[in-house]
């Protein structure tokens, strides 16, 4: 029998991480992260990229699944995640993780909130999903950097699909195999370039928000049976090899508690 891939080990770990197993300080930090995201999103909602995204997706319409922040209108969950993701990063004041070199909140929370509405999740379920999404983000970001940044990739945008797919997959009740496949589908969508720091800065919140929406899409498609690569992270031509040139996955699974 072949050794379990990183995505398979992660799926096992996240599925076994119940809310009751989370330390109290971790739960409190997750609550603070949610409040922080909501605060910066309120401020970012009036900025140009946020207004453009709102008008575009409202005009598109669609199934009213999830709420826009500060707005009574509802959109398909994937569109709500993207628009709310733009709100959360428009000011560029959302939470960050130094070792991961990115912003885990805006990668995780817009998708998690949209999915929580769709699945009518409890607050405990939402917080558990957020904690796991953050863990996925930080493990990947800390593993691929600083080489990833030096290649010109924007960590928050490239890693966001993994974090969002983890959170949404848990809220959607995916099993081990489907959560593994969701992570595979997430990884093939990872994109984002540091050129936004030099020109076209309005695109920065767009590419991070698109990453969060991509993770939601990955989980939704996996729930329907779509198959992403099991070895998306450590594979010969997987995420680590392409994004930083180092396929050693040890840091991705170190200290996992089953």
pLDDT score at 251:
84
Quick one: which of 168, 23, 67 has its CA closest to 108?
A: 168
Q: Who wins on pLDDT, 174 or 255?
A: 174
Q: Could you give the CA distance from residue 243 to residue 4 in angstroms, rounded to a whole number?
A: 22
pLDDT beyond 70 at 229: yes
State the pLDDT at residue 202. Answer: 87
Residue 199 pLDDT more than 90?
Answer: no
Kind and range of the H or E run holding 75: strand 74-75
pLDDT beyond 50 at 79: yes
- Contact residues for 248 (Cβ-Cβ < 8 A; gap 6+): 240
Distance CA 203, CA 49 (A): 8
Is 152 a residue whose pLDDT tops 80? Answer: yes
- Check residue 1 and give its pLDDT: 43
Q: How confident is the model at residue 220 (pLDDT cuts 50, 70, 90)?
A: very high
- Average pLDDT value for residue range 108-116: 98
Amino acid 72: pLDDT:
83
Please say if the pLDDT value at position 71 is more than 80: yes
Any idea which of 98-112, 202-216, 241-255 has the lowest mean pLDDT?
Answer: 241-255
The Cβ-side half-sphere exposure at 217, using a 13 Å CA radius, reads 18
Cβ–Cβ < 8 Å for 159, 212: no
pLDDT score of 257: 61
Distance of CA 29 to the CA centre of its chain: 17
Q: Is the distance from CB of 132 to CB of 14 less than 8 angstroms?
A: yes
- Give the residue with greater pLDDT, 125 vs 3: 125
What pLDDT was estimated at residue 201? 79
Q: How much is the average pLDDT of 174-194?
A: 97
Q: Rounded to whole angstroms, how far apart are CA atoms 74 and 64?
A: 5
pTM: 0.96
When pLDDT is averaged across residues 184-210 and rounded to a whole number, the result is: 93
Distance in angstroms (rounded) separating the CA atoms of residues 140 and 138? 5
- Residues with Cβ within 8 Å of 113's Cβ and at least 6 positions away in sequence, in order, are 66, 81, 84, 126
101: left (phi over 0), alpha (psi -120 to 50) or beta: left
Q: What is the pLDDT of residue 111?
A: 98
Q: Are 175 and 14 in contact (CB under 8 A)?
A: no
More confident position, 203 or 258: 203
d(CA 207, CA 147): 20
Q: Which residue has the tokens 């995505």?
A: 7
Mean pLDDT over residues 145-167, rounded?
A: 97
pLDDT at residue 258, rounded to an integer: 53
Mean confidence (pLDDT) of the chain: 95
Summarised one tens digit per residue, pLDDT across range 47-70 is 999 999 999 999 999 999 999 998
Q: Mean per-residue pLDDT for 129-142? A: 97
Place of tokens 């398909």: 76
Using DSSP, state whether 74 is helix, strand or coil: strand
Percent of the chain at pLDDT > 70 equals 98
Q: At what angle do helices 203-223 and 48-60 cross, to 10 degrees?
A: 40
Place of tokens 């560029």: 92
Which phi and psi angles does 75 have, rounded to 5°? Answer: -130, 170
- Average pLDDT, integer, range 157-180: 98
Measure Cα distances from 202 to 10, 47, 53, 107, 220 in Å: 34, 9, 11, 17, 28
């Amino acid at each position: 029998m072949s050794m379990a891939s990183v995505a398979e080990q992660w799926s096992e770990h996240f599925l076994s991480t119940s809310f009751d197993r989370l330390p109290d300080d971790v739960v409190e930090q997750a609550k603070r992260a949610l409040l922080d995201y909501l605060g910066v999103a309120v401020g970012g909602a009036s900025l140009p990229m946020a207004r453009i995204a709102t008008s575009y997706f409202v005009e598109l319409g669609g199934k009213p699944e999830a709420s826009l922040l500060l707005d009574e209108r509802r959109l398909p969950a994937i569109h709500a995640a993207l628009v709310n993701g733009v709100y959360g990063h428009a000011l560029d004041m959302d939470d960050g993780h130094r070792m991961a070199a990115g912003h885990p909140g805006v990668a995780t929370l817009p998708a998690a909130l949209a999915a929580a509405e769709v699945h009518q999740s409890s607050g405990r379920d939402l917080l558990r999903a957020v904690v796991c999404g953050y863990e996925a983000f930080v493990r990947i970001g800390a593993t691929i950097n600083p080489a990833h940044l030096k290649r010109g990739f924007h960590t928050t945008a490239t890693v966001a699909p993994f974090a969002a797919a983890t959170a949404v997959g848990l809220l959607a009740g995916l099993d081990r195999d489907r959560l593994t496949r969701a992570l595979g589908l997430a990884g093939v969508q990872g994109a984002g370039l540091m050129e936004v720091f030099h020109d076209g800065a309005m695109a920065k919140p767009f590419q991070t928000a698109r990453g969060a929406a991509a993770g939601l899409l990955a989980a939704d498609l996996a729930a329907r049976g779509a198959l992403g690569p099991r070895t998306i992270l450590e594979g010969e031509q997987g995420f680590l090899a392409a994004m930083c040139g180092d396929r050693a996955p040890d840091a991705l699974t170190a200290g996992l508690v089953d």
